[in-house]
Amino acid sequence: MAISFSSRVRVPRDILITKVGGESVILNLRSERYFGLDDTGTEMWAALSDSESIEAAYRELLQKYDVETDLLRRDLEALVEKLLEQGLIEISDE
């Protein structure tokens, strides 16, 4: 699935996230499924959930970390796709 970086990530109300150290556990209360994030995934989650668009989160992460632009783009897109598959986020074009 091609993700538009101009889209915005929205976290549904029935999703809880708990940080443990630098890592996070995301719980879908409806399906009772959980998803673990390492420290990098936790940083990506924070950027995605706080930004106006996936592109804005991408730019924020580029400024924060010394990482290849293509690698970050692929990793961020893969995380968004996985979170969508698990029902942990929604995407809107607003």
Residue 2 predicted with pLDDT over 90: no
For residues 44 and 76, is the Cβ–Cβ distance under 8 A?
Answer: yes
Q: Which of 1, 70, 78 is nearest to 44 (CA)?
A: 78
Q: Percent of the chain beyond pLDDT 70?
A: 98
Domain ranges of the chain: 8-87
CATH of the domain spanning 8-87: 3.90.930
User: In three state form, how does the secondary structure of the chain look?
Assistant: CCCCCCCEEECCCCEEEEEECCEEEEEECCCCEEEEECHHHHHHHHHHHHCCCHHHHHHHHHHHCCCCHHHHHHHHHHHHHHHHHCCCCEEECC
Residue 94 predicted with pLDDT over 90: no
Per-residue pLDDT of 23-67, as tens digits, reads 999 999 999 988 999 999 999 999 999 999 999 999 999 999 999
| Confidence at residue 22, expressed as pLDDT on a 0 to 100 scale | 83
